[in-house]
Amino acid sequence: MNTKEEWRKLLKCTVVEFLCDTGADKTVIRKPLPGIPHSSEMIYVKSANGIISSCPVTGPITVVDPHSGLKHTQSVILCPSCPVNLLGRDLMLKLHISVVSTDSGMMAIGQGEEVPTYISSGQEPHYYWTLDFPQPDPTNTMTRLLQLADESLRHMADTDVGLLTTATPVVITPKTEYRPRIRQYPLKPDATQGIMPVIQDMLKSGVIIEAPWAQCNTPIFPVKKAETGQWRLVQDLRAVNQAIESRAPCVPDPHTLLNQLQSDKAWFTVVDLSNAFFSIPLHPNSQGWFGFTIGGKKYTYTRLPQGFCDSPTIFTAEINNCLSDFPIPAHSQVLVYVDDILIASDTKEHNLETSISLFKHLCSKGSKASPSKLQLTLQSVIFLGHQLTPQGKSITNSRKKACGHLYPQQEGMLERMFGGAVGLSLFSCVFTQPPFTCCSPSPIVSPFLDALPNMVLFLSLFLKIIKV
């Protein structure tokens, strides 16, 4: 059999090794090859873990099977996140290559000659690229943005972790010399097995590091997402939060923020920053506060963790600093609530133009956006639990449904549950007193529900909100 170099000289082309995958609809290459023509076409792909992302498609290239001499010209998918080059069913059919079972294992067989490509079963996940899902509505996805934006925006994925170049490493200020050391309680085997790939991904992206030196230790508990079946790492940082000097909160009030929306704005874009807290670095001297143990090893965060009491405040300050030099046109508004950004404009063209400019600005500063959560240039979007349209804002149906399932466990809890569910801060005709808010200055039972007449008024408002 000829070597790679012999094939390269014989065919005068680039020799590429592929994994023959009958589960892949399309052929995928990981890296651009010399001489391959570029294309502006983008395509959606879904991997074995269910993540959907957009990838560029090359121009027509000629692929030759050196064993049979068969060749075919077509475009292939360029996807750096694919672990190997995949020869999909599209080219396997054209080149007459099949995968069959033999006593030695699975073998890839071409026309007239057997290719000794051995595939053994193992514990590695099976990757596949498929198109067997409905194409998203281009008015509600990144399709147009990817077509109009530059190369730097074309490989964004929900799992991306950015690093804000404008962010200052966070320094933790302790109250005393106390450092919490709480042992990890036993985890169920399925939880340990499910969270380890997440740990490896976080190690690979630099969000966590092995840290046997970390002074602090607090327990973690993996949570399985009901919708996707994937696991999420949750750390109990209550002991850490009590041991440090917390900062003055600067997160804006959602209703105050929404009230800033100008009435002439009719087109909206909502951007969700992916893994937002992880884009803020921790100072090396403060990383030891967030240690945890799993699988006999100790790890800690190098980025701002979720569950830390100051994370929303710190990120809000840093993202505002990041956007401080972004020129906002007079025809548009940009409202920021932690990791959610609203771009509101008077026309469709202005909104799309401002959205693209904002994406480029965020990308240049090291921030990443979530493609699957993007609502691009629409006249009806969901932002902070409200539906925004040219006619105004309203509480979403999911919030109303949440109100209908409230069940107070103790006296005074209903008003707090209700206020938290809808973010209540509004006037109603049923009240002659100032509007009810969920923030009572007294730690004792609020007088709001002291008397039966007030309860009747409250339930009246409750029903009005649900029926809106």
Read off the pLDDT of residues 76-110 as tens digits, 9 standing for 90 and up: 888 877 778 888 888 888 888 887 777 666 776 77
SS3 235: strand
How far is it, in rounded angstroms, from Cα 117 to Cα 109? 8
Model pTM? Answer: 0.61
Please report which helix (H) or strand (E) contains residue 74, including its range: strand 71-74
Q: Is 35 left (phi over 0), alpha (psi -120 to 50) or beta?
A: left
- Delimit the domains of the chain by residue range: 4-134, 143-155+250-274+326-393, 396-467
What is the per-residue DSSP string for 75-128? --EE-TTSSS-EE-HHHHHHTT-EEEEETTEEEEEETTEEEEEEE---SSPPP-
HSE at residue 86, side-chain half, CA atoms within 13 A, is: 25
| Angle formed at CA 230 by CA 56 and CA 20, multiple of 5 degrees | 45
Fold (topology level) of 143-155+250-274+326-393: Alpha-Beta Plaits (3.30.70)
Phi, psi for residue 71 in degrees, rounded to 5: -145, 155
Nearest to 28 by CA among 79, 102, 104, 100: 79
Which residues make beta-bridge pairs with 73?
Answer: 62
Residue with tokens 């549950």: 417
325 assigned to active site = no
| Angle formed at CA 255 by CA 381 and CA 235, multiple of 5 degrees | 85
Decide yes or no: CATH 1.20.210.10 for domain 4-134. no
Q: Can you give the pLDDT of all 468 residues of the chain as single tens digits? A: 455 555 555 445 678 888 888 778 888 888 887 777 777 777 777 665 555 667 888 888 888 887 777 888 888 888 877 778 888 888 888 888 887 777 666 776 776 555 444 433 333 333 333 343 344 444 444 455 555 554 445 556 667 788 999 999 999 999 999 999 999 988 999 999 999 999 999 999 999 999 999 999 999 999 988 777 889 899 999 999 999 999 888 888 888 899 899 999 999 999 999 889 999 999 999 999 999 999 899 999 999 999 999 999 999 999 999 999 999 999 999 999 999 999 999 999 999 999 999 988 998 899 888 887 889 999 999 998 889 999 988 887 777 766 666 555 445 555 555 555 545 444 333 333 444 444 444 343 444 444 455 556 666 766 666 665
How far is it, in rounded angstroms, from Cα 433 to Cα 364? 50
Nearest to 339 by CA among 272, 385, 261: 272
Same fold, 4-134 and 143-155+250-274+326-393: no
